[in-house]
Amino acid sequence: MQRAMAHYVPREMAVLGLVEVALSFLVIYVILNVSGTPDWISGSLRTLTAPTAAAAALLALGISLIALPIGLYQPEVCLDRRRLLPATCLAAGLIFAALLLFGRPDGRLTLGHAVETARLGAAGLATMTFVRIVWRLDIVRNRLARPVLVLGAPADAATFRARLDTRRGRNFKPVAMPEGDASWQALRRRGIWGVVLASGVEPPMAEAILDCKLRGLPVLSAAAFHDRYLARVDLDSLTADGLINADGFARGCGSAALKRASDIVFSIAALLLTLPMMIAAAAAIKLDSRGPVFYRQQRAGRFGKAFTIFKFRSMAADAEACGRPRWTQRQDPRITRVGRFMRASRIDELPQLVNVIRGEMSLVGPRPERPHFVEQLARAIPFYHQRTYVKPGLTGWAQVNYPYGASVEDAREKLAYDLYYVKHRTIWLDLVILLSTIRVVLFSDGAR
């Protein structure tokens, strides 16, 4: 779990969640003690010696669990005002609905119950909002950010500092070397958390950095920092030897069997649950434009083997009349009115559940690209073929961390996340990706 938290959940977000659960518990506990524990709470928890405390803890934890898949513990949401407000409003609605549905075991809904529910939900949500307002303050985030000393060639160091400006990287701040002194005492006086070597350093400096590492100061290469704290692979320093000698990539037969069983069970369940939605989508497609309901296309699967992918048709029937594959662009005129909605909500990808059941895809994995684009990108981007060593997925680490790509540079950025998944894939990471996908679907992140 420690490795999982370090790799997949930023430490600052984990601390934020713990603080919010604790404060929400205190606020709800005070409210319940002042106004009295409602009958529906004490009745469902009457076997406990402290039903009020148990109810407060359960409600506080439940509120945080509802906020998790919405993205309220993701840096890219918390640091973006345009996304934070709608995410918070959606959390409020879901919290209220959950308390209404599960708060009364007898199923009876009364005005008093609704008022109690709104009061408790608002208390927890107000606490979360307050914590985020405080956390977003520059003075707070700057004090929480970990100072990092970046060493190496000027160009390499500048590239790495630019990478720290990403939302996930803002939990760290690059600092200058204190008067050219890299001794352990000097770095400790400046409060430097660790050292990152963007490239090699000269022997005198190397000796000083080695002394710092042996004294307990974190010292990492740029590649190791990318892997551990930015949850991506550093493509700038990636070599074949580096991949051969790197940890990870291996996966046992037991994990593979569990993933396959999970794919089958959840895909069948999802097909049954979304069947009415799929029938409605099929009818809307037929009414909106001429052409077939489903769209079949060749995609590159595991080890590059081609397979036929199934999707709802979201473009005009003659979208590629020129016979040449084209990337989808913003406001692409080929997309139909119904297709634009389906792409934003990802409904067009539901038929791919059939591909998952057939074993051609998985629920989680790199996005399946067209063979034409795979060959094109493999010529321009080193190690691009290595992403095909796992089954493609309905969703993936690249999809939840980077918006839709329609260029070679976009494909290179997404490859950094795809290779990270190939290296670190676990059931836990799959769960993190599936929860993050809920946020992506709800807010149409990266849809095109």
DSSP string, 56-74: HHHHHHHHHHHHHHHTTT-
Asked if residue 37 has pLDDT above 90, the reply is no
pLDDT band at 383 (very low <50, low <70, confident <90, very high): very high
Q: So what's the pLDDT on residue 20?
A: 86
Give the residue with greater pLDDT, 311 vs 145.
Answer: 311
Give the residue with greater pLDDT, 317 vs 444.
Answer: 317
Separation of alpha carbons 57 and 317, rounded Å: 54
Separation of alpha carbons 352 and 362, rounded Å: 9
Mean pLDDT of 181-206: 86
Helix residue ranges, H only, 251-326: 253-288
Q: Are 20 and 62 in contact (CB under 8 A)?
A: no
Residues contacting residue 282 through CB under 8 Å, at least 6 positions apart: 293, 312
Q: Are 308 and 296 in contact (CB under 8 A)?
A: yes
Mean pLDDT of 153-181: 81
Q: Are 395 and 363 in contact (CB under 8 A)?
A: yes
Mean pLDDT of 35-48: 54
pLDDT band at 49 (very low <50, low <70, confident <90, very high): very low
Separation of alpha carbons 356 and 264, rounded Å: 7
Which residues, listed in sequence order, are joined to residue 294 by a DSSP beta bridge?
312
Q: Are 124 and 24 in contact (CB under 8 A)?
A: yes
pLDDT band at 4 (very low <50, low <70, confident <90, very high): very low
- The DSSP annotation for 143-163 comes to HHSEEEEEES-HHHHHHHHHH
Give the residue with greater pLDDT, 154 vs 45.
Answer: 154
How large is the greatest C-alpha to C-alpha distance in the chain, in angstroms?
Answer: 75
Whole-angstrom CA distances from 274 to 267, 271, 352 are: 10, 5, 12
Q: So what's the pLDDT on residue 95?
A: 77
Separation of alpha carbons 360 and 198, rounded Å: 39
Q: Are 233 and 226 in contact (CB under 8 A)?
A: yes
Phi, psi of 255 (to 5 degrees): -65, -40
What residue type is assigned to position 129 of the chain? Answer: T
pLDDT band at 61 (very low <50, low <70, confident <90, very high): confident
Q: So what's the pLDDT on residue 271?
A: 93
pLDDT band at 112 (very low <50, low <70, confident <90, very high): low
Helices vs strands, H then E, count in the chain: 20, 8
Mean pLDDT of 255-266: 92
Q: So what's the pLDDT on residue 310?
A: 94
Residues contacting residue 334 through CB under 8 Å, at least 6 positions apart: 315, 316, 319, 328
Identify the weakest region by mean pLDDT among 31-40, 86-95, 418-427. 31-40
Mean pLDDT of 206-212: 89
Asked if residue 266 has pLDDT above 80, the reply is yes
Asked if residue 119 has pLDDT above 80, the reply is no
pTM value? 0.83
Helix (H) or strand (E) holding 175: strand 172-175
- The DSSP annotation for 28-40 comes to HHHHHHHH---HH
Separation of alpha carbons 312 and 302, rounded Å: 23
Asked if residue 41 has pLDDT above 80, the reply is no
Phi, psi of 289 (to 5 degrees): -155, 160
Q: So what's the pLDDT on residue 2?
A: 42
